[in-house]
Amino acid sequence: MPGENAMLAFQGVEDIHQLPTTHPAYPKVRELVRLCIEAIEDYDPDIHGKVYLIEPGDVSKHLPDICEPCKLYEVQWEGVTLEDGHFVCVYLGSGDYGLVFVVPDAPWLPPKLRERLLYFLDPPIAP
């Protein structure tokens, strides 16, 4: 069982129940679990990856499941989109392995991290 300081990880369809349906990120996380987990036949989190929800206490933690320990503002993202008030950040490993991090665009997001996510944002926000 993950420790109390663990990031909220979704590595199976049943894991969506970790998040209350009233949580602001629930619709986005549920959609990503369907697209990235449920849609893959014989899904295995060790082969295919996971979906993570970043919460305020997670922004300075080292990210799990990335080969070289790093923090959110250090990752070379494959892509970042801004959807329904959440940054959806994609990290691709080798083979079929990929991680998706859902980061709320919230007031608690440190400016350094928000700038980093905006740098990778596709499409960019028009000035």
Q: 56-81, pLDDT tens digit by residue? A: 999 988 887 887 778 898 999 999 99
List the Cα angle 32/38/40 in 5-degree steps.
105
pLDDT at 39 > cutoff 80: yes
Contact between residue 74 and residue 59 where contact means Cβ atoms under 8 Å apart: no
pLDDT at 2 > cutoff 50: no
Helices (H) and strands (E) in the chain, counts: 3, 5
pTM tops 0.95, yes or no: no
Amino acid at position 102, single letter: V
What is residue 126's predicted lDDT score, i.e. its pLDDT?
A: 59
Contact between residue 92 and residue 98 where contact means Cβ atoms under 8 Å apart: yes
Lowest mean pLDDT among 5-9, 19-23, 71-75: 5-9
Contact between residue 28 and residue 86 where contact means Cβ atoms under 8 Å apart: yes
* Exposure b/e, 40-67, CB count within 10 A at least 16 = b: eeebebeebbbbbbbbeebbeeebebee
For the residues 23-40, what does the mean pLDDT come to?
94
Closest CA to 97 of 68, 66, 122: 66
